[in-house]
Amino acid sequence: MWIMLAGPYSTGNADAETRAARLAALNAAALAVLRLGHVPVIGVNMALPVIAAAGGTPDAYEEVMMPLSLALAERCDACLRLGGPSAGADAEVARFRAAGKPVFFALEEVPGG
């Protein structure tokens, strides 16, 4: 399966250090998903280079981050929701649920591929 990992990134006006730690946690979980035999996908990893190309401004972030992440969610087979509160991650989960696709809330719930 292609599994989107959804979790907090910028929630709560997170500073650069917090965002980096959150992304590192998502990437570590992605490695575990890969080792289970799936293709891990993280919307932030796809969006950040595009945001940078658009100037890296707050407006570029708003233009790119969620639209790109939600479009990516449409292409994935399942979602692994990690971490704490996040309106963006919750929007991704809602997209999966609306499509009847599985949403996991712990790595242990993800089946081996």
pLDDT per residue as tens, the chain (113 positions): 999 999 999 998 899 999 999 999 999 999 999 999 999 999 999 999 999 999 999 999 999 999 999 999 999 999 999 999 999 999 999 999 999 999 999 999 999 96
The encoded tokens of residue 75 equal 């292409």
Task: Please give the pLDDT value at position 32.
Answer: 98
Task: Please give the pLDDT value at position 113.
Answer: 67
Task: Please give the pLDDT value at position 10.
Answer: 93
* Nearest one of 1, 9, 12, 19 to 69, comparing CA atoms: 9
Locate all alpha helices (DSSP H) within the chain, ordered by sequence: 16-35, 43-53, 58-75, 87-98
Task: Please give the pLDDT value at position 100.
Answer: 98
pTM of the model: 0.93
Backbone angles phi, psi at 81, to 5 degrees: -90, 120
